[in-house]
């Protein structure tokens, strides 16, 4: 599979930008993991300061999908750590985008997976299992629905209603 850059997607699909079918997330995310460029169909999750549902998702086969977690932008604890990211890598997830914090950065940076998050934080999240799966979320100023496509590289993150052509 050829790697597609976000700039290429934007440059070859200006009509999708105008129509709103192709949107860019605000440039608020830090780059983690060894996979700088990744893309795939989106799976959405809303989980505020709780990592149980995140861990459950990443135990599943990823099949090249990207987990997008709306953590409410919390900077009070990490909702994703090294162990689930290793599992995600081994289970075939293309990437994980977290509107919140991560921890175990050195371990995550050793994984062949793309991870984006607001920041790192040493404190771990709650484990109550509270959250919502497969719901529309708003992350980085952009509405994201389950099944849309995400494209990420060092320039930023794009969301497309369908798989974009370049």
Query: Is 41 annotated to bind ligand?
Result: no
- 141 annotated ligand-binding residue: no
Summarised one tens digit per residue, pLDDT across range 58-111 is 999 999 999 999 999 999 999 999 999 999 999 999 999 999 999 999 999 999
Q: Is 81 annotated as a binding residue?
A: yes
Establish whether 103 is an annotated binding residue: yes
Rounded to two decimals, what is the model's pTM? 0.96
| Rounded Cα–Cα distance for residues 8 and 79 (Å) | 32
Element (H, E) at 39: strand 38-46
Contact by Cβ (8 Å): 97, 139: yes
The average confidence (pLDDT) of the chain is 96
Is 91 labelled a binding residue?
A: no
pLDDT confidence tier of residue 3, bands split at 50, 70 and 90 = confident
pLDDT at 144 over 70: yes
Sequence length of the chain is 166
User: At residue 1, does pLDDT exceed 80?
Assistant: no
Longest C-alpha distance within the chain, in Å? Answer: 44
Model pLDDT, residue 165: 79
Please indicate if the annotation marks 84 as binding a ligand: yes
Calculate mean pLDDT across residues 140-162. Answer: 97
Pair 77, 123: CB distance under 8 Å: yes
pLDDT of residue 2: 62
Token pair in block for residue 120:
């790192």
- Which pLDDT belongs to residue 84? 98
């Amino acid at each position: 599979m050829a790697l597609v850059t976000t700039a290429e997607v934007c440059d070859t699909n200006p009509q999708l930008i105008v129509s709103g079918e192709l949107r860019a997330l605000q440039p608020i995310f830090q780059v983690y993991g060894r996979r700088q460029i990744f893309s795939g169909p989106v799976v959405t999750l809303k989980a505020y300061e709780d990592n149980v549902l995140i861990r459950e998702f990443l135990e599943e086969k990823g099949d090249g999908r990207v987990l997008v977690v709306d953590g409410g932008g919390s900077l009070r604890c990490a909702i994703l750590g090294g162990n689930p990211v290793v599992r995600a890598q081994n289970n075939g997830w293309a990437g994980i985008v977290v509107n919140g914090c991560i921890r175990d950065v050195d371990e995550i940076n050793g994984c062949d997976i793309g991870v984006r998050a607001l920041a790192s934080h040493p404190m771990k999240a709650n484990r109550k299992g509270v959250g919502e799966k497969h719901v529309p979320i708003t992350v980085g100023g952009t509405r994201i629905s389950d099944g849309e496509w995400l494209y990420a590289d060092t320039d930023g993150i794009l969301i497309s209603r369908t798989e974009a052509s370049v």
